[in-house]
Chains A and B, each alone.
Chain A
Amino acid sequence: MRAVSNGIFKIEKILVIIAIPIMLIAMVFDIFYRYFLNSPLIWGQELTLYTFVWTSFLGASMSIKTKEAVAVTIFVDKLNIKLKNLLILIGLFISAVFAVSILYLSINWITNPNILMQKSVTTQIPMIFMYFCIPLSLLFMSIHFINWFIESLRVSREGKVIE
């Protein structure tokens, strides 16, 4: 599981390293064409917007991997190691179940035939390309959560504090 999670994290990093420059370049081109050449680009705004949505959801999964997502730690920090580890394990288990359930919902949603008919407003690109970031990032997030849970289980068996 750890290898899968690490591999996914690598893929996520590569994707955002590609996505963020695209977002920025598309935005700069869009502004340049609109204000200086007076001929707005058709694809500029949509490209920036959807690379932003993709980056956000991929980054969300990455924030679980790097354990940076904001959580309230003040309560568990006051407890002894055993109880603290137990509560964190429960929390990670619930999170993993939630991620998998939303993943399941999103697969049901994206495979709905109606989705294939939706197209973006200006460029008429099928929305499924944009929507695909939701199930993909939820899949990645689920794997990171499951990996986090398994690792924490091991750490807690060894009697150490879960990070």
Chain B
Amino acid sequence: MTLTMIIFAILLMVRIPIAIVLGISGIVLLVVSGNSGMLINSPQRLFSSLESYSLLAIPLFMLAGEIMNKGGITSRLITFTQKFVGHFRGGLAYVNIVTNTFLASIIGSAAAQIAMMSKIMIPAMEKEGYKREFGAVTTAAAGMLGPIIPPSMLFIIYGAAASVSIGDMFLAGILPGILLSLAFILLVAYIGYKDQFPSKPKVAWSERVKSFFTIIPALLVPGILIWGIVTGVFTPTESAGIACLIALIVSFIFYRDIKVNDLPGIFINTAISTAIVTLLIAMANIFGWAMTFERVPQTIAEWMTTVTSNPIIFLILVNVLFLILGMLVEGIALIIILTPIFVPILPAYGIDPVHFGVLICMNVTIGILTPPVGSGLFLATSLGKVSIEAFVKEVWPFVVVAIIVLLLVTFIPQLTLWIPSIVAN
């Protein structure tokens, strides 16, 4: 195992894609543990790791998001929130956060949201007199809401890996997501007051109502998702399919910004962005399977339980571990690799796997904002043409606020478990 870990680290350093590194390490582990005879089964493992209806929700939600974005939902959401919160001091910063909150209920990935919003919000904020790096930081931080507010790719991946209901995960993410959004709004209010951000005149109610009507079709997506889960009529995967259908209808019939010619490109993008995730899952499956021959998960679990038997200390250690790893490694990969190791030890501490899942997903999402490796940091700085140093200088208040929300969610399990429990009754 030690040899495999060394190989794993070296392969990562020579810029081999993480998925391939996992595959190679799995094969190496099989060979060194004397199970070369099992090698022939690895292609079968690759196949069966993706033969899952839960994972099918990943391309469907990505497709719905891509269609919605091309269909013009992003610009309409921005116009809508601008009419409601744009007049406050620091208006555009609120617009950014509130739009991202809505967008998060349609799209399940932080990277996708940051990519969509950076192109629009960072130049818009700069034009109104905000520092460019503040625009980039607000956009990247608000993008964190994507994987916390349902739907969420991370929750689907965790749910599939931990055998936890994805519907429960989605419901559990609602309150932490809203809390995080509110916390960012408070932070922006404080910064805005301190730095004397610009403010604008109020908008008439008639205009507000008009702009609300333009976003109603888009709100059908979260509506159908939550309704499907709460009533049990649709599985999350089926609601993802329906979300695509709604996205197509809304984009082609109501908004009409999209053209039929755009579809092939959307399909290709969806296939590639899905595969980036699913290849990781498939290869991690080989790695995880090879680890079970060496009893690695059991060994780590036994070691963990000797370190502490106190659930609170355990959760603090988990937070520290995932925050540090999240700074260094891509979050999806972390969730895929570590979920099968941690979930079996949860009963020993009496921790609900849904609560735990929301926690570790929040942890790795904070990691996208922090150097040295953060997809949100890279996206916002490159799309917003901001230097990484300037970004990092501005981002820390947002990271601190996110960690405070993370601690609240850690120590108040009701924040995650309350909504799933009322739905279950």
Chain A residues packing against B (C-beta within 8 Å): 13, 16-17, 19-21, 23-24, 27-28, 31, 35, 45, 48-49, 52-53, 55-64, 66, 68-76, 87-88, 90-92, 94-95, 98-99, 101-102, 105-106, 108-110, 130-131, 133-135
What CA separation (Å) do A60 and B19 show in the bound complex?
10
Chain B binding surface, main DSSP class: helix
| Interfacial residues of chain B within 272-330, with CB under 8 A of chain A in the complex | 272-276, 278-280, 282, 329-330
Residue-wise, chain B 143-156 has the 8 Å CB interface mask toward A (1 for contact) of 00000000000000
Whether B204 sits at the interface, judged by CB under 8 Å, is no
Q: Which of A69, A99, A130 has the largest number of chain B CB atoms within 10 A?
A: A69
21 contacts between A and B (CB under 8 A): A13-B268, A16-B271, A17-B264, A20-B63, A20-B270, A49-B53, A52-B59, A55-B271, A56-B274, A57-B46, A57-B50, A72-B373, A88-B14, A91-B15, A98-B20, A105-B39, A105-B40, A108-B40, A109-B44, A133-B47, A134-B46
The reply to whether B23 and A102 contact each other, CB–CB distance below 8 Å, is yes
Asked if A17 meets B267 with Cβ closer than 8 Å, knowing A70-B19, A90-B14, A134-B43, the reply is yes
The reply to whether B60 and A91 contact each other, CB–CB distance below 8 Å, is no
The reply to whether A95 and B20 contact each other, CB–CB distance below 8 Å, is yes
Whether B56 sits at the interface, judged by CB under 8 Å, is yes
The reply to whether A64 and B14 contact each other, CB–CB distance below 8 Å, is no
The reply to whether B18 and A70 contact each other, CB–CB distance below 8 Å, is yes
| Interfacial residues of chain B within 238-261, with CB under 8 A of chain A in the complex | 238, 241-242, 244-245
Chain B residues packing against A (C-beta within 8 Å): 11-20, 23-24, 27, 39-44, 46-47, 50-51, 53, 55-56, 59-60, 63, 233-234, 238, 241-242, 244-245, 264, 267-268, 270-276, 278-280, 282, 329-330, 332-333, 372-373
The reply to whether B275 and A62 contact each other, CB–CB distance below 8 Å, is yes
Contacts of A135 in B (CB 8 A): 43
Contacts of A63 in B (CB 8 A): 17, 272, 275-276, 279
Chain A binding surface, main DSSP class: helix
Contacts of A101 in B (CB 8 A): 27
Q: Which residue of A has the minimal Cβ distance to B375?
A: A70
Asked if A20 meets B43 with Cβ closer than 8 Å, knowing A31-B242, A69-B17, A70-B18, the reply is no
Contacts of B372 in A (CB 8 A): 74
The reply to whether B17 and A70 contact each other, CB–CB distance below 8 Å, is yes
Q: Which of A24, A58, A94 has the largest number of chain B CB atoms within 10 A?
A: A24
